Amino acid sequence: MDVGLRRELEEKVGEGVRLTREDGIALYGSDDLAWLGGLGHRARARKNGDAALFDVGPLAGPPRDDDSRPGPSRPDPRSVGELRAALAGLSPRALSAGEIHRVETVSGADASEILDELIESGLESLTAGGAEIFDEEVRRRLGVHATPWADWSRIHRLAHDKGLWTVCGMLHGRVEEPGHRVDHVLRLREAQDASGGFRVFAPLPRRQDTWGAPGDTAADVIGARVRPATGAEILKAVAVSRLLLDNVPHLRVSWAIHGAHTTQLALQHGADDIAGTVADHDGASEVGGASPEPTRDDLLDAIRDAGLRPVERDGRYAVIREYAGPDPARRDAPQPMRV
Protein backbone atom coordinates (compact mmCIF):
# COMPACT_ATOMS: atom_id res chain seq x y z
CA MET A 1 0.00 0.00 0.00
CA ASP A 2 1.48 3.34 -1.00
CA VAL A 3 1.99 6.11 1.51
CA GLY A 4 -0.70 8.33 -0.01
CA LEU A 5 -3.46 5.72 0.26
CA ARG A 6 -2.37 4.81 3.76
CA ARG A 7 -2.60 8.44 4.84
CA GLU A 8 -5.99 8.81 3.12
CA LEU A 9 -7.38 5.80 5.01
CA GLU A 10 -6.00 7.10 8.29
CA GLU A 11 -7.70 10.43 7.71
CA LYS A 12 -11.02 8.81 6.83
CA VAL A 13 -10.97 6.68 9.97
CA GLY A 14 -9.91 9.62 12.09
CA GLU A 15 -12.76 11.76 10.78
CA GLY A 16 -15.34 8.97 10.93
CA VAL A 17 -15.89 8.98 7.16
CA ARG A 18 -17.66 5.87 5.85
CA LEU A 19 -15.26 3.57 4.00
CA THR A 20 -15.90 2.28 0.47
CA ARG A 21 -15.57 -1.16 -1.10
CA GLU A 22 -12.23 -0.10 -2.56
CA ASP A 23 -11.07 0.99 0.89
CA GLY A 24 -12.00 -2.39 2.33
CA ILE A 25 -10.09 -4.30 -0.34
CA ALA A 26 -7.07 -2.03 0.20
CA LEU A 27 -7.19 -2.73 3.94
CA TYR A 28 -7.26 -6.49 3.35
CA GLY A 29 -4.26 -6.02 1.06
CA SER A 30 -2.13 -4.58 3.86
CA ASP A 31 0.20 -6.90 5.76
CA ASP A 32 0.86 -4.31 8.46
CA LEU A 33 -1.25 -5.90 11.18
CA ALA A 34 -0.19 -3.40 13.83
CA TRP A 35 -1.38 -0.54 11.62
CA LEU A 36 -4.67 -2.28 10.78
CA GLY A 37 -5.21 -3.11 14.43
CA GLY A 38 -4.60 0.49 15.39
CA LEU A 39 -7.24 1.68 12.91
CA GLY A 40 -9.71 -0.97 14.06
CA HIS A 41 -9.12 -0.07 17.69
CA ARG A 42 -9.65 3.59 16.91
CA ALA A 43 -13.03 2.85 15.31
CA ARG A 44 -13.94 0.57 18.22
CA ALA A 45 -13.02 3.22 20.80
CA ARG A 46 -15.13 5.83 19.00
CA LYS A 47 -18.16 3.55 19.21
CA ASN A 48 -17.67 1.86 22.58
CA GLY A 49 -15.10 3.83 24.53
CA ASP A 50 -12.87 1.74 26.78
CA ALA A 51 -15.59 -0.79 27.67
CA ALA A 52 -15.15 -4.46 26.75
CA LEU A 53 -18.33 -6.48 27.23
CA PHE A 54 -18.48 -10.11 28.27
CA ASP A 55 -21.12 -12.69 29.02
CA VAL A 56 -20.36 -15.90 30.87
CA GLY A 57 -23.90 -17.26 30.71
CA PRO A 58 -25.27 -19.82 28.24
CA LEU A 59 -25.61 -18.54 24.70
CA ALA A 60 -27.15 -19.82 21.52
CA GLY A 61 -24.72 -21.53 19.16
CA PRO A 62 -22.82 -19.42 16.62
CA PRO A 63 -23.47 -19.67 12.88
CA ARG A 64 -23.29 -23.12 11.30
CA ASP A 65 -21.92 -23.91 7.88
CA ASP A 66 -25.27 -25.22 6.68
CA ASP A 67 -28.79 -24.58 7.93
CA SER A 68 -30.33 -27.01 5.46
CA ARG A 69 -30.38 -30.04 7.75
CA PRO A 70 -33.73 -31.80 8.21
CA GLY A 71 -36.00 -30.19 10.73
CA PRO A 72 -39.61 -29.97 11.85
CA SER A 73 -42.23 -28.76 9.39
CA ARG A 74 -43.10 -26.02 11.85
CA PRO A 75 -41.43 -24.92 15.10
CA ASP A 76 -43.35 -25.53 18.30
CA PRO A 77 -43.64 -22.07 19.96
CA ARG A 78 -44.31 -23.76 23.28
CA SER A 79 -40.67 -24.86 23.47
CA VAL A 80 -39.55 -21.22 23.34
CA GLY A 81 -41.94 -20.25 26.09
CA GLU A 82 -40.93 -23.20 28.24
CA LEU A 83 -37.26 -22.37 27.75
CA ARG A 84 -37.82 -18.75 28.73
CA ALA A 85 -39.71 -19.78 31.85
CA ALA A 86 -36.96 -22.22 32.83
CA LEU A 87 -34.14 -19.74 32.20
CA ALA A 88 -35.55 -16.63 33.78
CA GLY A 89 -33.67 -13.48 32.89
CA LEU A 90 -32.12 -14.83 29.69
CA SER A 91 -32.95 -13.69 26.19
CA PRO A 92 -34.25 -16.59 24.08
CA ARG A 93 -32.31 -16.72 20.81
CA ALA A 94 -33.14 -20.10 19.42
CA LEU A 95 -33.61 -19.97 15.66
CA SER A 96 -31.81 -18.67 12.59
CA ALA A 97 -33.22 -17.09 9.45
CA GLY A 98 -32.18 -20.26 7.62
CA GLU A 99 -34.30 -22.43 9.89
CA ILE A 100 -37.29 -20.13 9.57
CA HIS A 101 -36.87 -20.14 5.78
CA ARG A 102 -36.88 -23.94 5.81
CA VAL A 103 -40.09 -23.94 7.86
CA GLU A 104 -41.61 -21.57 5.30
CA THR A 105 -40.67 -23.92 2.49
CA VAL A 106 -41.95 -27.09 4.15
CA SER A 107 -45.07 -25.80 5.88
CA GLY A 108 -46.33 -23.15 3.45
CA ALA A 109 -46.62 -20.59 6.25
CA ASP A 110 -44.88 -17.26 5.69
CA ALA A 111 -42.03 -15.96 7.83
CA SER A 112 -44.12 -13.12 9.25
CA GLU A 113 -46.69 -15.54 10.65
CA ILE A 114 -44.00 -17.86 12.01
CA LEU A 115 -42.20 -14.99 13.71
CA ASP A 116 -45.45 -13.71 15.23
CA GLU A 117 -46.06 -17.11 16.85
CA LEU A 118 -42.51 -17.29 18.15
CA ILE A 119 -42.57 -13.72 19.50
CA GLU A 120 -45.85 -14.41 21.28
CA SER A 121 -44.11 -17.33 22.97
CA GLY A 122 -41.14 -15.24 24.08
CA LEU A 123 -38.56 -15.21 21.29
CA GLU A 124 -36.45 -12.04 21.48
CA SER A 125 -33.72 -12.53 18.90
CA LEU A 126 -32.44 -14.56 15.93
CA THR A 127 -29.00 -16.11 15.60
CA ALA A 128 -26.69 -15.44 12.65
CA GLY A 129 -26.91 -19.00 11.33
CA GLY A 130 -26.82 -19.48 7.56
CA ALA A 131 -24.83 -16.31 6.83
CA GLU A 132 -21.74 -18.03 5.38
CA ILE A 133 -20.29 -15.78 2.70
CA PHE A 134 -23.27 -14.36 0.83
CA ASP A 135 -21.71 -14.51 -2.65
CA GLU A 136 -23.59 -17.20 -4.57
CA GLU A 137 -20.56 -18.39 -6.54
CA VAL A 138 -18.61 -18.93 -3.33
CA ARG A 139 -21.54 -20.81 -1.83
CA ARG A 140 -21.80 -23.00 -4.92
CA ARG A 141 -18.11 -23.86 -4.75
CA LEU A 142 -18.47 -24.73 -1.07
CA GLY A 143 -21.48 -26.95 -1.74
CA VAL A 144 -23.55 -24.82 0.62
CA HIS A 145 -27.29 -24.92 0.05
CA ALA A 146 -28.29 -22.66 2.90
CA THR A 147 -30.65 -19.73 2.68
CA PRO A 148 -29.66 -17.19 0.00
CA TRP A 149 -29.05 -13.56 0.88
CA ALA A 150 -32.45 -12.39 -0.41
CA ASP A 151 -34.31 -14.65 2.00
CA TRP A 152 -31.83 -14.35 4.87
CA SER A 153 -32.03 -10.56 4.79
CA ARG A 154 -35.81 -10.56 4.27
CA ILE A 155 -36.36 -12.65 7.41
CA HIS A 156 -34.01 -10.55 9.53
CA ARG A 157 -35.71 -7.38 8.26
CA LEU A 158 -39.10 -8.82 9.23
CA ALA A 159 -37.73 -9.64 12.68
CA HIS A 160 -36.40 -6.10 13.05
CA ASP A 161 -39.73 -4.63 11.95
CA LYS A 162 -41.41 -6.68 14.68
CA GLY A 163 -39.09 -5.31 17.34
CA LEU A 164 -36.56 -8.14 17.58
CA TRP A 165 -32.82 -7.55 17.54
CA THR A 166 -30.68 -10.08 15.74
CA VAL A 167 -27.11 -11.23 15.25
CA CYS A 168 -25.20 -11.09 11.97
CA GLY A 169 -21.95 -12.85 11.18
CA MET A 170 -19.49 -14.17 8.64
CA LEU A 171 -17.77 -17.54 8.34
CA HIS A 172 -14.50 -16.84 6.58
CA GLY A 173 -11.28 -18.55 5.63
CA ARG A 174 -11.72 -21.01 2.76
CA VAL A 175 -12.20 -20.24 -0.91
CA GLU A 176 -13.47 -16.69 -0.77
CA GLU A 177 -11.33 -13.72 -1.78
CA PRO A 178 -11.00 -10.50 0.25
CA GLY A 179 -13.51 -8.84 -2.09
CA HIS A 180 -16.12 -11.44 -1.16
CA ARG A 181 -15.62 -10.67 2.53
CA VAL A 182 -15.88 -6.96 1.88
CA ASP A 183 -19.07 -7.41 -0.17
CA HIS A 184 -20.54 -9.62 2.57
CA VAL A 185 -19.99 -6.96 5.22
CA LEU A 186 -21.26 -4.16 2.98
CA ARG A 187 -24.52 -6.05 2.36
CA LEU A 188 -24.98 -6.22 6.11
CA ARG A 189 -24.13 -2.52 6.44
CA GLU A 190 -26.75 -1.60 3.84
CA ALA A 191 -29.35 -3.79 5.55
CA GLN A 192 -28.51 -2.19 8.90
CA ASP A 193 -28.93 1.28 7.40
CA ALA A 194 -32.48 0.28 6.45
CA SER A 195 -33.64 -1.52 9.60
CA GLY A 196 -31.15 -0.90 12.42
CA GLY A 197 -31.86 -4.24 14.08
CA PHE A 198 -28.45 -5.95 14.09
CA ARG A 199 -26.95 -5.61 17.53
CA VAL A 200 -23.74 -7.57 17.10
CA PHE A 201 -21.52 -8.91 14.32
CA ALA A 202 -19.52 -12.11 14.81
CA PRO A 203 -16.73 -12.92 12.31
CA LEU A 204 -15.75 -16.56 12.73
CA PRO A 205 -13.08 -18.68 11.01
CA ARG A 206 -13.89 -22.00 9.43
CA ARG A 207 -12.56 -25.08 11.14
CA GLN A 208 -9.45 -26.77 9.85
CA ASP A 209 -10.91 -30.13 8.85
CA THR A 210 -13.37 -28.95 6.21
CA TRP A 211 -13.01 -30.57 2.79
CA GLY A 212 -13.46 -28.93 -0.57
CA ALA A 213 -16.77 -29.29 -2.40
CA PRO A 214 -16.97 -31.76 -5.31
CA GLY A 215 -15.73 -30.12 -8.48
CA ASP A 216 -14.02 -27.27 -6.67
CA THR A 217 -11.10 -26.14 -8.80
CA ALA A 218 -9.18 -24.27 -6.11
CA ALA A 219 -5.80 -26.01 -5.96
CA ASP A 220 -5.52 -25.56 -2.22
CA VAL A 221 -8.93 -27.06 -1.54
CA ILE A 222 -9.40 -30.16 -3.75
CA GLY A 223 -8.59 -33.39 -1.96
CA ALA A 224 -6.90 -31.70 0.97
CA ARG A 225 -7.91 -30.40 4.31
CA VAL A 226 -8.04 -26.64 4.59
CA ARG A 227 -5.44 -25.26 6.95
CA PRO A 228 -6.77 -23.43 10.00
CA ALA A 229 -6.87 -19.65 9.89
CA THR A 230 -3.87 -18.05 11.52
CA GLY A 231 -4.23 -15.60 14.35
CA ALA A 232 -3.08 -12.81 12.03
CA GLU A 233 -5.79 -13.65 9.48
CA ILE A 234 -8.44 -13.67 12.18
CA LEU A 235 -7.29 -10.33 13.56
CA LYS A 236 -7.25 -8.79 10.09
CA ALA A 237 -10.87 -9.89 9.55
CA VAL A 238 -11.82 -8.36 12.92
CA ALA A 239 -10.13 -5.04 12.16
CA VAL A 240 -11.44 -4.65 8.60
CA SER A 241 -14.96 -5.70 9.62
CA ARG A 242 -15.02 -3.13 12.42
CA LEU A 243 -13.82 -0.41 10.07
CA LEU A 244 -16.40 -1.19 7.37
CA LEU A 245 -19.37 -2.13 9.55
CA ASP A 246 -19.75 1.27 11.14
CA ASN A 247 -23.44 0.97 12.04
CA VAL A 248 -23.56 -2.28 14.07
CA PRO A 249 -22.93 -1.52 17.75
CA HIS A 250 -20.82 -4.51 18.78
CA LEU A 251 -18.27 -6.91 17.32
CA ARG A 252 -18.03 -10.22 19.14
CA VAL A 253 -15.25 -12.77 19.39
CA SER A 254 -15.34 -16.12 21.16
CA TRP A 255 -12.86 -17.38 23.73
CA ALA A 256 -13.68 -21.01 22.89
CA ILE A 257 -13.39 -20.56 19.12
CA HIS A 258 -10.64 -17.97 18.73
CA GLY A 259 -8.52 -19.01 21.68
CA ALA A 260 -7.49 -16.99 24.72
CA HIS A 261 -4.59 -15.06 23.17
CA THR A 262 -6.30 -14.21 19.88
CA THR A 263 -9.42 -13.15 21.78
CA GLN A 264 -7.41 -10.74 23.89
CA LEU A 265 -5.61 -9.34 20.85
CA ALA A 266 -8.94 -8.97 19.03
CA LEU A 267 -9.95 -6.46 21.73
CA GLN A 268 -7.10 -4.29 20.46
CA HIS A 269 -8.08 -4.76 16.79
CA GLY A 270 -11.73 -3.70 16.85
CA ALA A 271 -13.68 -6.22 18.95
CA ASP A 272 -15.53 -5.08 22.07
CA ASP A 273 -17.53 -8.16 23.11
CA ILE A 274 -16.41 -11.61 24.31
CA ALA A 275 -18.63 -14.67 24.34
CA GLY A 276 -17.33 -16.69 27.27
CA THR A 277 -19.47 -19.78 26.92
CA VAL A 278 -20.19 -21.09 23.42
CA ALA A 279 -22.08 -24.17 22.26
CA ASP A 280 -20.19 -26.71 20.12
CA HIS A 281 -19.93 -25.62 16.51
CA ASP A 282 -17.84 -26.06 13.39
CA GLY A 283 -15.44 -23.24 14.17
CA ALA A 284 -14.42 -24.63 17.55
CA SER A 285 -11.48 -26.72 16.31
CA GLU A 286 -9.62 -23.97 14.46
CA VAL A 287 -6.28 -22.56 15.55
CA GLY A 288 -5.20 -25.67 17.37
CA GLY A 289 -8.52 -26.48 18.99
CA ALA A 290 -10.96 -24.81 21.33
CA SER A 291 -9.70 -23.21 24.51
CA PRO A 292 -11.19 -24.30 27.83
CA GLU A 293 -14.13 -22.20 28.87
CA PRO A 294 -12.91 -19.21 30.88
CA THR A 295 -13.85 -18.25 34.39
CA ARG A 296 -15.08 -14.75 35.12
CA ASP A 297 -11.64 -13.96 36.51
CA ASP A 298 -10.02 -15.16 33.28
CA LEU A 299 -12.17 -12.73 31.31
CA LEU A 300 -11.55 -9.87 33.72
CA ASP A 301 -7.79 -10.41 33.54
CA ALA A 302 -7.78 -10.69 29.74
CA ILE A 303 -9.78 -7.49 29.32
CA ARG A 304 -7.72 -5.52 31.81
CA ASP A 305 -4.45 -6.77 30.31
CA ALA A 306 -5.73 -5.48 26.95
CA GLY A 307 -5.96 -2.05 28.56
CA LEU A 308 -9.76 -1.99 28.73
CA ARG A 309 -12.52 -1.81 31.32
CA PRO A 310 -14.61 -4.99 31.84
CA VAL A 311 -18.40 -4.71 31.67
CA GLU A 312 -20.54 -7.79 32.29
CA ARG A 313 -23.73 -7.90 30.22
CA ASP A 314 -26.76 -10.13 29.93
CA GLY A 315 -28.22 -11.74 26.80
CA ARG A 316 -30.07 -8.52 25.97
CA TYR A 317 -26.86 -6.45 26.16
CA ALA A 318 -28.03 -4.75 29.33
CA VAL A 319 -25.24 -4.01 31.80
CA ILE A 320 -25.12 -6.34 34.81
CA ARG A 321 -21.98 -4.99 36.45
CA GLU A 322 -19.13 -2.64 35.63
CA TYR A 323 -15.69 -3.47 36.95
CA ALA A 324 -12.58 -1.42 37.64
CA GLY A 325 -10.28 -0.89 34.67
CA PRO A 326 -6.67 -1.97 34.15
CA ASP A 327 -4.33 -2.30 37.13
CA PRO A 328 -0.96 -0.82 36.12
CA ALA A 329 0.77 -2.87 38.81
CA ARG A 330 -0.53 -6.22 37.56
CA ARG A 331 2.08 -6.66 34.81
CA ASP A 332 5.78 -5.79 35.04
CA ALA A 333 6.01 -5.52 31.24
CA PRO A 334 3.64 -5.43 28.25
CA GLN A 335 2.43 -8.86 27.18
CA PRO A 336 3.90 -10.23 23.93
CA MET A 337 1.78 -10.18 20.79
CA ARG A 338 1.27 -13.80 19.74
CA VAL A 339 -0.51 -14.34 16.42
Other Cβ atoms within 10 Å of 281 Cβ, number: 20
How far is residue 272 from each of residues 182, 201, 248, 291, 339, measured CA to CA in Å? 20, 11, 12, 19, 19
- Per-residue pLDDT reduced to its tens digit, 23-48: 999 999 999 999 999 999 999 999 99
Q: What is the pLDDT of residue 139?
A: 85
243/43 Cα distance (integer angstroms): 6
Ramachandran area for residue 49 (φ above 0: left; ψ -120 to 50: alpha; else beta)? left
* Closest to 87 in 3D by CA, of 122, 46, 48, 118: 122
> What residue segments make up the domains of the chain, in order of their start?
3-322
Find all residues with CB under 8 Å of 108, minimum gap 6, and list them. Answer: none
State residue 230's pLDDT score: 87
SS3 (DSSP) at 233 = helix
How would CATH label the architecture of 3-322? Alpha-Beta Barrel (3.20)
Residue 294 has pLDDT above 60, yes or no: yes
Asked whether 260 and 291 are in contact (CB, 8 A), the reply is yes
pLDDT value at 53 more than 90: yes
Backbone φ and ψ for 128, nearest 5 degrees, come out as: -90, 5
User: Does the pLDDT of residue 80 top 50, yes or no?
Assistant: no
Cα–Cα distance, 316 to 91 (Å, whole number)? 6
- Is there a contact between 187 and 260 (Cβ–Cβ < 8 Å)? no
Q: Decide if pLDDT at 253 tops 90.
A: yes
Could you give the percent of the chain with pLDDT greater than 90?
Answer: 54
- Among 101, 103, 113, 97, smallest CA distance to 71 is for 103
CA distances from 179 to 8, 83, 138, 186, 237 (A): 20, 40, 11, 10, 12
Query: Which tens digits make up the pLDDT trace of 170-204?
Result: 999 878 899 999 999 999 999 999 999 999 999 99
Q: Which residue has the higher pLDDT, 227 or 62?
A: 227
